[in-house]
Amino acid sequence: MFQSIGWLSFALLNLYIAILTQELSKEVVLVNFMIAALGIGVSHVFRNFILKHNLTKLPTEKLITRVAFSILLMSVVYTLLYYLCLFMIQPSAITKHLISTGIGSFVAIYFLFSLWSIIYFSWTYIENNRKNVITRLKMEASVKDLEIRTIRSSLQPHFIFNSLNSIRALIDENPELARNAITQISNILRNSITNQEITDTLENELKLVNDYLSLEKIRFEERLQYQQKIDPATLTVQIPTMMLQTLVENAIKHGISKSEQGGKIELKTGIKEDIVWIEITNSGSLETETKHENSLGFGIHSTRQRLKLIYGQQASYEINQLDNQVQVLIKIKPLIK
């Protein structure tokens, strides 16, 4: 398309000049369209040569040398073909000043082929660079996706291990509750294993949390209190899969279970200035060694990693001590899915 547009534009420009100089004739029209056809043919052969010999992959010095020689060769071939066709179409145009006019034509066509080469190689360079950027971004996205899925895959056995420990404690003292607990954990596992998406809606994640807390309520009984205040506008927001469950699990393990009186877990969500915030508070206190992120529990560590990988700078994570409560505050710019 660009070949046709470029060379036909060149021919039409020559015809326009012929009109201005009152030299337009059938022969002039024919000659100029012959010029366009020759230009397309010769430059197309050159393009095939470039592709066949992968000139664009050559080092700059070799590329410049080969292209310069190719332009010189094309200009000679084009000039000879041009005068041969001109002699066949308009013999009277061949004058005694053939050598001087031939040199002029050669210089003009050399300039045109040089311009063609500059445009072609610039375009090729930009296109290859764009493809390389796209390939690099795809590779980065694949690596990031692999990291996220690796973290997520480690969540499932971690969750199963803790849940089975809860059921084991019930088998002897209350077999009926143990059977109910097994039914609940099977429902939870079915959801967590079949859902392989990196993110899910807050609404679905809340169902998983409620099932998990029902299971933990059997073990802790009145020692575990749970309250939630959810903004309906946040229910469709995409958040990392199993993030809430791991954070609630972390709150129970490092907060509620360490107190004889137990405690309370509160889950709140809302939207402020297009930013979704999720707040989880639990009774307890941050220990002195929690300066190291791994000491805060697997749920905290995995949440930090996944938020960074999925949202980058569009999400933030905080953990604070508020009186006798530990607060986890997450802010996310929602993903559109």
Predicted pLDDT at 284: 84
Tell me the per-residue pLDDT of 185-204, one tens digit each, with 9 for 90 and over.
Answer: 777 777 666 666 778 899 98
DSSP at 198:
S
Same domain, 164 and 124: no
Q: Which domain holds residue 325?
A: 144-332
Same domain, 171 and 206: yes
Same domain, 122 and 182: no
**Mean pLDDT (whole number) for 246-274:** 86
Dist. CA 284–CA 250, nearest whole Å: 12
Tell me the per-residue pLDDT of 4-62, one tens digit each, with 9 for 90 and over.
Answer: 888 888 788 878 888 888 777 787 788 778 878 888 888 888 888 888 888 877 787 88
Domain end residue (candidates: 105, 135, 165): 135
pLDDT band for position 268 (50/70/90)? very high
Distances (CA, A) of 212 to 61, 65, 171, 209, 321: 67, 71, 18, 5, 25
**Mean pLDDT (whole number) for 312-323:** 87
Predicted pLDDT at 94: 61
Residue 107 has pLDDT above 80, yes or no: yes
Tell me the per-residue pLDDT of 150-174, one tens digit each, with 9 for 90 and over.
Answer: 655 554 565 567 667 767 777 777 7
Higher pLDDT, 104 or 275: 275
Same domain, 190 and 271: yes
| Structural domain total, the chain | 2
Same domain, 164 and 118: no
Task: Find where tokens 């071939």 sit.
Answer: 77
Residue 290 has pLDDT above 50, yes or no: no
pLDDT band for position 294 (50/70/90)? very low
Same domain, 199 and 234: yes
Q: Quickly list H helices, 21-97.
A: 26-52, 60-89
pLDDT band for position 210 (50/70/90)? confident
Residue 291 has pLDDT above 50, yes or no: no
Q: Are 147 and 308 in contact (CB under 8 A)?
A: no
Same domain, 157 and 236: yes
Is 54 inside any structural domain?
yes
Same domain, 106 and 154: no
Is 337 inside any structural domain?
no
Predicted pLDDT at 276: 92
Same domain, 118 and 218: no
Domain end residue (candidates: 135, 161, 181): 135
Average pLDDT, the chain: 79
Q: What is the CATH number of the domain that holds 170?
A: 3.30.565.10
Q: Are 110 and 42 in contact (CB under 8 A)?
A: no
